[in-house]
Amino acid sequence: MIAVHFDKPGGPENLYLKEVAKPSPGEGEVLLKVAASALNRADLLQDSSSKNTGRQGQYAPPPGASNILGLEASGHVAELGAGCQGPWRVGDPAMALLSGGGQAQYVTVPAELLMPIPAGLTMCQAAAIPEAWLTAFQLLHLVGNVRAGDSVLIHAGASGVGTAAIQLARMAGATPLVTAGSQEKLQIAEKLGAAAGFNYKEEDFSEATLKFTKGAGVNLILDCIGGSYWEKNVNCLALDGHWVLYGLLGGAVISGPLFSKLLFKRGSLITSLLRSRDKKYKQMLVKAFTEQILPHFSTEGPQRLLPVLDRVYPVAEIQEAHEYMETNKNVGKIVLELPQ
């Protein structure tokens, strides 16, 4: 089969398509013939030590994960492994949360991590759901314990996770606020349901958040930035608020009185990752999401959920797709289409 490959960490120019062995489904696994796979930040950062490939050499895949990039995919069930229980049959359309391997013509998936594709969605739209939407669902509900009436500050509000979190926060009865780096991104976030948006390049989002909340601050912050935002985050966190850290795009190092400021707010700083979670946790997450959220992608009306796609590239243009992601101009997901 054809798969995205590279031999050493570095820039997008190292990526190319290579013919590799097609995987076989193991016990309880399904072989998915991939139609589309979305890009994630982890694809840019993944480690390339030992046999684990990656691109910049900064993010190690979990043990046992495929050494091919790609954390989510959509396609059709091509084969069932031994002992495959459940509803899946060969030919069924499905989308999957992966620990790697999605940017190839075939990928093996534990059957419990497959989800049906909601009616009315294309393969490219479906590929944009698993990693981003499960992350947003996990951060809001399982980690952040969002409640109706809460205010939620979502950093990188126009990202895949951000655009999902806006819609899921609204659905939970919370008020989503976002930060982003351009007026266009803020307008799209507001169309999706953000009550307000702040351009971090032009204003102090912390002061703007306090003004919007009439000085109370936000109950929950979803933060993929980290170091460079710590002081502003604590400043606009409400008393007893939850600050959920799930990325370090703004660095891992802080200097200053973080603990005293957080203690003064009685705030909780919680960290969360999805990719490194065990299979049992992911099964629980996929089951809850499939039951509670997935039907809302197909229902007409104000509660309808929408995966946001920015661009679709044929997989042969993998270098261009990575170059575009590095510009940070995308709103929503960048998707790769695999040859059928």
Which residues partner with 34 through β-bridges? 75
- Give per-residue pLDDT as tens, 18-27: 999 999 999 9
Task: Check pLDDT > 70 for residue 47.
Answer: no
Only one residue has tokens 């930035």, namely 225
**pLDDT at residue 56, rounded to an integer:** 56
**pLDDT at residue 49, rounded to an integer:** 34
Burial letters for 204-239: b for 16+ Cβ neighbours within 10 Å, e otherwise? ebbebbbebbeeebbbbbbbbbbeebbebbbbbbbe
Give the mean pLDDT of the chain. 91
Percentage of residues in the chain with pLDDT exceeding 70? Answer: 94
**β-pair type (114-116, 93-97):** antiparallel
User: Shortest CA distance to 141 belongs to which of 170, 176, 172?
Assistant: 172
**pLDDT at residue 86, rounded to an integer:** 81
Q: What average pLDDT does this structure show over 142-156?
A: 97
- Give per-residue pLDDT as tens, 254-307: 889 999 999 999 999 999 988 889 889 999 999 999 999 999 998 777 789 999
Q: What average pLDDT does this structure show over 165-188?
A: 97
Tell me the C-alpha distance between 5 and 68, whole Å: 7
**β-pair type (151-154, 218-223):** parallel
Q: What average pLDDT does this structure show over 20-39?
A: 96
Task: Check pLDDT > 50 for residue 53.
Answer: no
Tell me the C-alpha distance between 94 and 77, whole Å: 7
- Give per-residue pLDDT as tens, 122-131: 999 999 999 9
Sign of CA dihedral 240, 201, 181, 72: negative
Q: What average pLDDT does this structure show over 298-323?
A: 90
User: Shortest CA distance to 326 belongs to which of 37, 11, 36, 103?
Assistant: 11
